[in-house]
Amino acid sequence: MTYLNKVQFIAPVAFGGQVSSLNRTSIGDRVGASPPTITLDEKMRFVSLVRVVAGKEDEVIVPMTNVASFVPCSDAETAAIEKKKADAKKPEVKK
């Protein structure tokens, strides 16, 4: 799985509204919405767009036939994303 910084679509995609491009640092359009996680699968068949809105995960799969261009994350950015995901999965310890 490759994380992407930005992706541009040929035709608009329904992802919390019609979007023709999306970048990883976008601010959520609704209260409680997280910035999107944009990933490219290993075989380059599709791009996955994932965000969390009010505690629920919202995922959209976009085939590569609708992707005009994309910018992959650097190794440092990928490591930061992986660390953030790992930290989010750790249970909180109550004192």
Looking at the DSSP bridge assignments, the partners of residue 50 are 37, 59
Q: How confident is the model at residue 68 (pLDDT cuts 50, 70, 90)?
A: very high
Per-residue pLDDT at 75:
85
CA distances from 70 to 32, 33, 88, 92 (A): 26, 23, 26, 36
Instruction: Give the DSSP H or E segment for 88.
Output: helix 75-89
Task: Report whether pLDDT(58) > 70.
Answer: yes
User: Residue 82 has what pLDDT?
Assistant: 82
> In the predicted model, what is the mean pLDDT of the chain?
84
- Report which of residues 8 and 33 the model is more confident about: 8
Q: What is the sign of the dihedral through the CA atoms of 71, 72, 75 and 79?
A: positive
pLDDT (0 to 100) of residue 31: 64
Q: Which two tokens stand for residue 31?
A: 């209260």
DSSP secondary structure string for all residues of 23-47:
ETTPPPSSTTBPPPEEEE-TTSSEE
- Average pLDDT of 42-47? 92
More confident residue, 15 or 95: 15
Q: Which residue has the higher pLDDT, 28 or 50?
A: 50
